[in-house]
Amino acid sequence: MTAPPPEAVAADPPATLPRAGAPAPLSRAAPAAETLRLYRADWHAFASWCDAEQLEALPAAPATVARFLASLPSLSAGALARRAAAIAAQHRQHGMASPASDPAVTALLRHARHTAMPHRPPSALPAQLSRMAASCPRDLAGLRDRALLLLAGAVPGRAGLRRAALVGLQIEQLRFTATGLELTLPGDDRTDAPPRVLIVPCDTRPGGCPVQALRDWLEASATRFGPVFRKVDRWGNVEHRTLGIDAVRRIIARRTPRRPRRHRVTSS
């Protein structure tokens, strides 16, 4: 029986635990709220997997962590390392040794890094994202992907909406107006950056308005609070869980129109 995950996952503390009753040391570089949110999602994914496999999640055996990571071949090396870090943080928070430090786990992560693609493919341009969005069907997954792609194309670049912020959007960050949409992004405590607001104007192109696409998805999925972009299972049920950070890459790959094969004509 796996231990229920706690409400929050703290940052990975030092290897040396403080004395009982001693104040916790202050971290000079506390992880951002987005990192903690991803750690919580990673821990929940691991705990759910352990429950399905009837394995102990806390404390977890190194072989269990290695099996869990090996069951995720589609994740990038960075995503696998983050999941291992989340598992380590959860154990150390409860005063337990980290199973992610075992040679079997570190060897698996090292292999994932060595076999990873050396270069990341270029980001899709807004025009490409619009074409992908136009090819999305009208089912729930299609409505979600269409809204996500159009929104990504409407606020691209470093000053716009990064992938982690895009998939991590909450209903409470949205404000629909008569002329478009306001997105309130949280500040960064590490750099003292204040919250900022992104303006997404309405688009008059048929089927190309990110604001209307987002309205369509929220209405069809009956999303009233919490995560904006949620998982849709194979039966078309909308889950409360948010998408993973790798979801944008997967959606782009799935919605990219495939070129028809050219048949060679041979002379008779």
Q: Domain end: 90, 114, 138, which one?
A: 114
Least confident of 124-128, 207-211, 237-241: 124-128
Specify whether 103 is located in the same domain as 145: no
Listed residues 62, 86, 114: the one ending a domain: 114
d(CA 51, CA 58): 11
- The answer on 150 and 49 residing in a single domain is no
Q: Is the pLDDT of residue 48 over 70?
A: yes
143 shares its domain with 59: no
Segment 82-122, tens digit of pLDDT: 999 999 999 999 999 999 889 989 988 888 887 765 444 44
**Same domain, yes or no, for 154 and 249?**
yes
Last residue of a domain, one of 50, 81, 114: 114
108 and 163, same structural domain?
A: no
Q: In what order do the strands lie in the sheet with 196-201?
A: 174-176, 180-185, 196-201
Indicate if the pLDDT at residue 210 is higher than 90. Answer: yes
pLDDT at 141: 92
For residues 186 and 223, state if they share a domain: yes
Mean pLDDT of 218-234: 92
Choose between 267 and 57: higher pLDDT.
57
pLDDT for 160 beyond 80: no
Q: Which of 16-25, 48-57, 122-131 is predicted least confidently?
A: 16-25
Q: What is the mean pLDDT of residues 55-64?
A: 92
Task: Kindly state the tokens that stand for 252.
Answer: 């782009």
Unique residue bearing structure tokens 């994202």: 129
Give the span between the Cα atoms of 145 and 217, in whole angstroms: 9
**Does residue 17 fall inside a structural domain?**
no
Predicted pLDDT of residue 119: 44
Residue 21 lies in a domain: no
Rounded mean pLDDT, 17-33: 41
What is the predicted pLDDT for the residue at 163? 80
| pLDDT of residue 50 exceeding 80 | yes
User: What is the tens place of the pLDDT at every residue in 241-267?
Assistant: 888 878 888 888 888 876 655 555 444
Domain at 218, CATH number: 1.10.443.10
Q: How many CA atoms lie within 13 A of 144 on its CB side?
A: 25
**Domain span at residue 134?**
126-255
* Angle between the N-to-C axes of helices 62-70 and 33-53, in degrees from 0 to 180, rounded to the nearest 10: 100
CATH of residue 38's domain is: 1.10.150.130
Contacts of 268 (CB under 8 A, 6+ apart): none
Q: Domain check: are 78 and 172 in the same one?
A: no
Q: What is the reported pLDDT for 7? A: 38
pLDDT bucket at 159, cuts 50 / 70 / 90: low
Pair 244, 149 in one domain: yes
Which segments of 195-245 are extended strands (E)?
196-201, 230-232, 238-242
Using the predicted structure, report yes or no on whether residue 145 has a pLDDT greater than 50: yes
User: Looking at per-residue confidence, does 263 or 181 come out higher?
Assistant: 181
* Sign of the CA dihedral with 17 first, then 20, 26, and 31 last: positive
Inform me whether the pLDDT recorded for 143 exceeds 90: yes
Residues 96 and 156 in one domain: no
130 with 108, same domain? no
Alpha helices in 155-262 (DSSP H): 163-167, 210-220, 247-255
**What tokens appear for 88 in the block?**
């380590």
Q: Are residues 93 and 63 in the same domain?
A: yes
If one counts the domains in the chain, the total is: 2
Residue 222 lies in a domain: yes
